[in-house]
Structure 1
Amino acid sequence: MTTAAASWLPLSPGERSVAIEVLGHGPLSRTELARRLGLSQGSLTRLTKPLIESGVLIEVPESGAPAGLRQGRPSQPLDIVAESRSFAGFKVTADMVYGVVTTLRSDIVDRLDRPLTGHDPGEVAGLLAEMTAELAARHPALAGIGIGVGGRVRDRAVVAESPFLQWHDVPLAALVEERTGLPVVVENDVAGLVEAETWFGAGRGLDRFVVLTIGAGIGYGLVLGGRRVPSTEEDGGFGRHWLLDPNGPLTPYGERGSAVSLLTIPSIRYQLRAATGHDLGYDEILALAAQGEPMAARVVDEAARALGTLVAQIANFAMPQKILLAGEGVGLLDTAGERVWATIRANRHPLATAVDLETKVSDFHDWARGAAVLAIQMLVLGMVEA
């Protein structure tokens, strides 16, 4: 199962730089590729030849040109053979494991989900191995595994702390590697989502980019210089102490008026339950608010003002070119978008550049895809973050 991944390991730093550039921005002409990398045409030819021979790169017709019409090698663009390798990505929650298989360009080509009946590390690793075996039977070119968990991860291998799983210092990468024979990378799930959007999504090609997630928790990822800034705060711990309204609600999930207290789905549901005695789902609450039900409208309005304040503060201090709002809670913007944008404007300088806020409704397979992207980066292209 490891031969596909091993064939990538001898790539020189120069060859890797070519592969990374084409992967993220291809197809690219040789002229453009040489310009981006600061290489001569001769040096580029030397680096691309083994990549083409090994099946990593392929020559493709120029855009708009008939497939059979060759315009000469110097102008023929190069692209990644996306289907040449497959990667498994898993998102582990408290009660489920969501799995995907992606191509080398992170396109999801398969899904597999299983219930998680216990949190014993050996049992979880065993379930991940079983799911990997099932996926590998359908995708023989499986080259590596990425696993995303909520919590703090050390060295992309050890789950230092995960409140959802009640884990401390669990060597999850080693446990899964010994059961599958495949290279494994483990990371905080928000980090994986940020990397996926930076390489292949909303942040592609941007120098400064932010991912903000709202759902079961609050996640935050920052990209500067086109690279994710590693941080122990990506798992959302900062959200408990990022105070948005000192007079806001106090919930079991955060400090009074914090981002967690105001914006997370559990907190919003808790507020409605405490006020009405009814346990309503998040979508039900948003629907009632849209219909003008007083209590739901009040809670959703508070959440909308909190989201607008948080986005404005991020824009003021990080000055990103774009903010991606993702997660299961983004329906808040659809229901109370006017309040969100009014609050953003109220908390920004009148002459400030308009905030580019993009939304993405993410399910757990998107988080699993993010984990697969980490495997692509680390295991295939040799990108190891400190």
Structure 2
Amino acid sequence: MNDHASPWMPLEGSSQAVALEVLLHGPLSRSELARRVHLSHASLSRLTKPLVSSGLLVEGMSSPRPAGMGRPKQPLDVVEDAHHFLGVKLTGDRAHAVVTTMRARVVGQASAPLPDHGVPSVVELVQRLAAEADEEVGNLAGIGVSVGGLVSDGAVVEHATFLEWEDVQLADVLAERTGLPVVVENDVTALTEAERWFGAGRDRETFTVLTIGAGIGYGLVSHGRLVTSGDAGLGPVGHALVAPGGPRCGAGHSGCAAAVLTAHALSAAVATATGRWLRTDEILRLAREGDAVARRVVGDAGRALGRLVGTAASFSLSSTVVLSGEEVGLADAAHDAVRAGIREVRHPMAEPVTIETRSAGFDEWARGAAVVAIQAFVTGG
């Protein structure tokens, strides 16, 4: 494993702000960078000189300038592939892994079945994935692991239903086995952090993330900061009422998001009407082909999704909602129904809701896990 000391680790204050701005938005000219971090050109020059000397920042290709217009501009950038990060998303039966650069660009991926739910077996599997990643790309600087459930202190899995885990000190065990820094996080939180640093957060400071799949997830970034809560890993938004009079979820709530929008809920709705248990992709295909039952189920679910999106936008005071998860195809298949559902719960004079959909694959979840490892690496957190 890579044991090279990182020039990021001692950074703090303005130096860290400068380096982060270049990482997240670079390459940037010195004048643009000074404007973004609110520093004078003299102060910026003083701060960037040691950052360039250490190799953390590099000067890019000069921009051509007309004769007589002074020195050409040399934008500052980071060496994106100077370090790599392993992100692992653990489900109930598989470990989905990606390797990324410092800007969360995926350069490798793998997937392997879990031998069982025992912690030693899972740790051994992640250790093997880390060793393979380090051998393939080198410079592995950290590991991020995401799970569905309650996670505390970036280290302890307090509760994970799909893995049947309680109070597992996962980060410490993995760090000891791999010799690398390890961060463990709730999967939706990690996905939201990926959006904050490398997705929707690049253009806006406040937005909501909703995920639909095996469960319903919710993340919120407000004024550039992740909004956190001890209840986040419980998926509380999944029990918001979106279909009055609808079926009940496992907790006994009638018409909540978990009862009508999850993969299981969609399959159950079709099975109730036809006696056939179909996957979501099959249901969406049948709906597109005009099957009456599938069209009704998809339309009803789409309207419920719209109500959830509109409510999330209203409570967050943001018009941007990022949709992700394995069942995100529902948003496109039921586009008109989703928009109708939004109108049912949104003030008619409010700014129109912008929905940004993301890849439905587990690689996107794993990339979120890699991002929390990147964050810890560059901030020392």
- Equivalent of 1:317, from 315, 318, 337? 315
Residue in structure 1 matched with residue 352 of structure 2 by the alignment: 354
Could you tell me how far apart the structure 1 residues matched to 2:277 and 2:59 are?
57
Contact 2:7 2:56 in 1 (8 A): no
Give the AA of the match of 2:136: R
Confirm whether residue 217 of structure 1 aligns to residue 194 of structure 2: no
Mapped to 1, the partners of 2:196 and 2:234 lie a distance apart of: 19
Tell me how far 1:253 sits from its aligned partner: 6.9
Measured after TM superposition, the shift of residue 61 of structure 1 is: 2.7
**Equivalences, count:** 378
Partner of 2:19 in structure 1?
19
Following the alignment from structure 2 to structure 1, what is the Cα–Cα distance between the partners of residues 94 and 288? 31
**Superposed counterparts of 1:201-350, under 5 Å:** 201-235=199-233, 237-252=235-250, 255-350=253-348
2:194 corresponds, among 196, 211, 231, to: 196
State how far apart, in whole Å, the 2-side matches of 1:290 and 1:42 are: 61
**1:155 Cα offset (Å):** 0.2
Q: Distance in 1 between matches of 2:83 and 2:319?
A: 32
Alignment of 1:33 with 2:33, yes or no, is: yes
SS of the counterpart of 1:104? coil
Change (3 A) 1:364 1:311: same
| Amino acid across the alignment from 1:304 | G
SS in structure 1 at match of 2:27: coil
CA offsets, 1:269-324, max 9 Å, x none?
12222332212111111122223323222221221111111111112221214111
Please give the secondary structure, in 2, of the residue aligned with 1:3.
Answer: coil
Pick which of 282-291 and 231-240 moved more: 231-240
**8 A Cα contact 1:244 1:310, kept in partner:** yes
Write the distance in 2 (CA, Å) between the matches of 1:94 and 1:172. Answer: 16
Please give the TM-score of this superposition, normalised by the length of structure 1: 0.93
Unaligned runs of 5+ in 1: none
CA RMSD for the aligned pairs? 1.9
Q: What 5-or-longer segments of structure 2 have no aligned partner?
A: none
Shift of 1:372: 0.7
Q: In structure 2, which of residues 104, 111, 129 is the aligned counterpart of residue 106 of structure 1?
A: 104
User: Which amino acid in 2 is paired with 1:60?
Assistant: G
Query: Post-superposition, which runs of at least 4 consecutive aligned residues in structure 1 deviate over 6 A?
Result: none
Range moving further from structure 2, 173-182 or 325-334? 325-334
Contact map agreement 2:243 2:255 (CA 8 A) in 1: yes
1:150 to 148, 161, 166: 148
Q: Tell me how far apart the structure 2 counterparts of residues 248 and 319 of structure 1 sit (CA, whole Å).
A: 28
In structure 2, distance between residues paired with 1:197 and 1:92 = 20
CA distance in 1, matches of 2:80, 2:156: 30
1:211-261: CA deviations, max 9, x gaps? 111111111100011111112343352134211123011244762100011
Q: Distance in 2 between matches of 1:316 and 1:327?
A: 21
Q: Which of 368, 377, 383 is 2:375 aligned to? A: 377
TM-score, structure 2 normalization = 0.94
Seen in structure 2, the aligned counterparts of structure 1 residues 252 and 289 have a Cα distance that, compared at 3 Å, is farther
